[in-house]
């Protein structure tokens, strides 16, 4: 909310501009309070949900917060119904499109078939893997609440995906790992 204080301190010569700014700052403050209330309510419901362990495990992954984890769990449900990670990615539309003719095979951007809401959130979350692997304070707290197996998976995922991003960027994939083709 530090940015709201900074905006609040801005001064305009014309009174109408100052009034418009104050109205917009207040709208942002009210919306932020609403989001916080909704997140607290979701947190309460998660604590008694049968998928709580799954949601907590998802939250240990970099870029996955409460809302992304709950959305994923709600929209996808039991991931064990998928025979492989590739099948899950196909369900979400996170696999490359393909044009084939005879022996020629051309791969394109992601297909965008499947669940767009989850795909959008996962793509946004994936952007965090541009930064070097590390565990922040919030994630450290979440990791301490989980089993060693979950902690190991979260760290391996972070290391592997960060290395994958760097490898793609080094190959000149528009410095975004090919994600520039994605439009939700």
A 10 A CB-CB count for 64 gives 22
Q: Please check whether residue 99 lies inside any domain of the structure.
A: no
Alpha-carbon gap, residue 67 to 42, rounded angstroms: 8
Q: How many CB atoms lie within 10 A of CB 14?
A: 8
Does residue 43 share a domain with residue 56? no
- 184 touches 116 (CB < 8 A): yes
| Total domains present in the chain | 2
The residue that leads in pLDDT, 147 or 111, is 147
- Residues contacting residue 130 through CB under 8 Å, at least 6 positions apart: 162, 165, 169, 177
Output the CA torsion sign for 42, 48, 50, 54.
positive
pLDDT of residue 153: 93
37 domain residue, yes or no: yes
Q: Is 157 contained in some domain? A: yes
Pair 23, 60 in one domain: no
Q: Which phi-psi region, left, alpha or beta, contains residue 31 (left: φ > 0; alpha: ψ -120 to 50)?
A: alpha
Each residue of 66-88: pLDDT tens digit? 999 999 999 998 899 999 999 99
pLDDT above 70 covers a percentage of the chain that reads: 93
User: Of 90, 157, 82, 79, nearest to 125 (Cα)?
Assistant: 157
Q: Identify the pLDDT of residue 55.
A: 95
Three-state secondary structure call for residue 69: helix
> 22-63, pLDDT tens digit by residue?
999 999 999 999 999 999 999 999 999 999 999 999 999 999
In this structure, are residues 118 and 73 in contact, taking their beta carbons and an 8 Å threshold?
Answer: no
Residue 183: the pLDDT is: 44
**Which band of pLDDT confidence, cut at 50, 70 and 90, is reported for residue 175?**
low
Q: Is residue 120 part of a domain?
A: yes
| 40 and 125 belong to one structural domain | no
Residue 92 located in a structural domain = no
Q: Grade residue 132 by pLDDT with cuts at 50, 70 and 90.
A: confident
Q: Do 137 and 67 fall into the same domain? A: yes
Q: Are 56 and 141 within one domain? A: yes
Give 96-114 pLDDT, tens digit per residue. Answer: 888 888 888 888 888 888 8
Confidence of residue 147 (pLDDT cuts 50, 70, 90): very high
Identify whether 86 is part of a domain. Answer: no
Q: Chain centroid to CA 111: how far?
A: 19
State whether 74 and 2 are in the same domain: no
Q: For the segment 50-60, what is each residue's pLDDT rounded down to a tens digit?
A: 999 999 999 99
d(C-alpha 12, C-alpha 17), whole Å: 6
Q: Reply yes or no on whether the pLDDT at 181 is more than 60.
A: no
Residues 143 and 172 both lie in one domain:
yes
Provide the domain limits for residue 18: 1-6+13-48
Question: 165, exposed or middle or buried, with CB in 10 Å at 0-12, 13-18, 19+?
Answer: buried
């Amino acid at each position: 909310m530090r940015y709201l204080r900074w905006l609040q301190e801005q001064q305009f010569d014309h009174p109408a501009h100052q009034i418009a700014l104050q109205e917009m700052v207040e709208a942002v403050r009210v919306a932020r309070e609403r989001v916080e209330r909704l997140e607290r309510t979701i947190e309460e419901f998660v604590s008694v949900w049968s998928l709580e362990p799954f949601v907590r495990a998802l939250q240990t992954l970099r870029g996955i917060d409460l809302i992304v984890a709950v959305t994923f769990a709600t929209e996808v449900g039991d991931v064990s119904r998928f025979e492989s990670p590739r099948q899950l990615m196909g369900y979400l539309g996170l696999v490359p499109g393909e044009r084939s003719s005879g022996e020629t095979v051309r791969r394109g951007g992601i297909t965008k078939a499947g669940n767009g809401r989850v795909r959008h959130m996962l793509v946004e979350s994936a952007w965090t893997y541009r930064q070097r692997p590390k565990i922040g304070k919030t994630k450290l707290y979440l990791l301490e609440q989980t089993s060693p197996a979950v902690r190991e998976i979260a760290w391996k995922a972070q290391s592997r995906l960060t290395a994958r991003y760097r490898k793609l960027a080094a190959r000149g994939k528009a410095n975004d790992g090919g994600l520039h083709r994605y439009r939700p």
